[in-house]
Each structure stands twice: as C-alpha cells, then as structure tokens.
Amino acid sequence: MRRIFNHFHPLNKLQRERERYLSTHQVPDNIRALLEAPLPGLDDDIYSLDYLSLDFETSGFNPKTDSLLSVGYLPLINQQLLLSEAVETLIHTAKNVKAETAVINHIVPEMLEKGEAWNVVLDTMLAEAVGKVLIVHGSIVEKRFLNHYMAKRYKLPPLPLLWVDTLQMEKSLHIYKGSNGTDDFRLGSVRERHNLPEYSAHGALVDSLATGELYLALLKQHFEGADSSVRHMKFDYTRAL
C-alpha cells in the first residue's frame, strides 16, 4: 500500500513529468542538467534539503507587456542562508519602467542601462538552481516571467521545477490555527507576525533574504514536534499561470 501511495505522491509525479519533458522536447545542456538533478526522496528530512531563495523585481505582473528589472537569490544550505553567495543583478532594459514600481523598488531606467542581458542573468540563476528547491513569497511573478523566458529564449513550455511558497505556507498555517484576523499576506506583514526584523530597503536581494528567513521560521511552525520528512511537505508543483 505504501508503494502505491508513493507512486502517486506529487513529488514522484513531478519526476515522471521531468522524464516526459526531456523525452518530448529538445533541451539545451543547461536545462537538461536542471531537470536531471535528483529530486528529494520522500523520506528525506525537509531541513536537510538544498534551497535557493529567489525574488524577481518587475515593472508589473504581465511579462508580455512588463519588464523584468532585477533578479536576486541566495542559497539556503543546512538551515543557513549563505550571504557570501548572494547575487543581485539588474537587467539591461529601459522599457516599461513605471513610476509606481520605481517608488517601491527604486529602480529607474538610468540604472538599467548598466545592467546585464536577461538571458545571461536567468541562465546563471538556473545554473545555481540545479539540485535545489526554489523558495519564493507568492510565486505568480517569478513563474510568469520564468515561463515567458523559457518560451522566448528556448521555445520551451514551463519547466517542471520544485517550489515552496512562503505565502501559501502562511495561509495554510492560518487555516490550521483557525485564524480569521487578517488577510494581509505581504512579505513584511507576515515577517512581523513571526517576530522577524523589518527590512527598510526593498529589492530583489533583500526580499530573497527576507523570504529565506521567513521560510526557516515557518518550518518550525509547521514541523515542530512532528515528522519533518519530505512526504509531509506541501510543495508548489504548479507551472503555468
């Protein structure tokens, strides 16, 4: 019976999706390396996994009309965020920068003129993601822009990657606790509820660090005194939005 349950576990279904993806599509070596990297085993401990905490700053939510402005990420290994390996890169584009987003992320067209090409930035990020689970807070933006990139750059459909979404983890925790007091799930607000320090700056690297810290705090909330094996973790398996 356990073997049957394991077969239909979403993580094993994701593995089969990766195998179908590789057999169906012609993929470059960098994407093949990403999809051939082993997924976590169901009996692995959540705390032992390798993660990449990630954030995209954009001028809006629609990659067809808006621009990717910057990408920030850093590894989370052995429950430690590796600041020495943190990366934040501006994207070389002066299009579609909006006043309302510039007020938030302080990115203006003049800064982007010295940025790097999006294919260099995103391919470098994907190389760093090999063998890691991606951590985001609200995965809509990152997935949409990454899906758009794969279609434009490689003519490929969305990648079958493994994500954890701290926004969804917080919502799940609220449901479990029967909390009805708030519908504010912004990163800063969620961090405040978990007694994490406020970060005044707003940018891709700061938000990826803030998300990684939040993830560690949420893990303790979800798994304190409980079985922390991978089979009990609610990963985010969706690809297209």
- Domain 2-232 maps to which CATH number in 3.30.1330.40, 3.40.50.300, 3.30.390.10, 3.30.420.10? 3.30.420.10
Confidence of residue 114 (pLDDT cuts 50, 70, 90): confident
Joined tokens for residue 14: 């994701």
Contact (CB, 8 A) for 58 and 68? yes
Per-domain residue ranges of the chain: 2-232
At 95 the pLDDT is 61
Give the predicted TM-score (pTM) of the model: 0.91
Q: Is the pLDDT of residue 194 over 80?
A: yes
At 103 the pLDDT is 43
At 174 the pLDDT is 80
Confidence of residue 178 (pLDDT cuts 50, 70, 90): low
At 148 the pLDDT is 96
Q: Over pLDDT 90: what percentage of the chain?
A: 72
Contact (CB, 8 A) for 17 and 160? yes
Beta-carbon neighbour count of residue 222 at 10 Å?
Answer: 17
Confidence of residue 92 (pLDDT cuts 50, 70, 90): confident
Pairing of strands 133-136, 51-58: parallel
Q: Is the pLDDT of residue 99 over 50?
A: no
**Half-sphere exposure (Cβ direction) of 123: Cα atoms closer than 13 Å:** 13
Q: What gap in Å lies between CA 63 and CA 143, rounded to an integer?
A: 10
